[in-house]
Amino acid sequence: MTHHLRVGALLCRPLAVIVGFAYPAFASWKALEGKNEGKGGVPAQGRDAWLTYWTVFSMFNVVEHLADVLISW
């Protein structure tokens, strides 16, 4: 049973990194790369959405780290 849990953990962590960090980073880069809406760029609300994503993502990471430090005390 513990072998299955280890395999699951090994598979879930990379998947979480891809879904939570790699794809949003790529999409943000693409959104910022296009400066003009008419030339294939992303509208301002698309850029604002990615900025909001990174702000929330960062806050969750800070809270998670602080909670980890407090809980592991």
Q: Is the whole model's pTM more than 0.85, yes or no?
A: no
Per-domain boundaries in the chain: 2-71
pLDDT (tens digit, 9 = 90+) per residue, 4-20?
A: 667 776 788 778 878 88
DSSP 13-45: HHHHHIIIIIHHHHHHHHHHH--SGGGTPPPHH
Return d(Cα 18, Cα 22) in angstroms, integer: 5
Q: Please tell me the chain's helix, strand, coil percentages from 3-state DSSP, rounded to the nearest 5.
A: 85, 0, 15
pLDDT digits (tens, 9 = 90+) for 41-71: 567 777 888 888 998 998 898 898 899 889 9
Contact 46, 72 (CB under 8 A): no
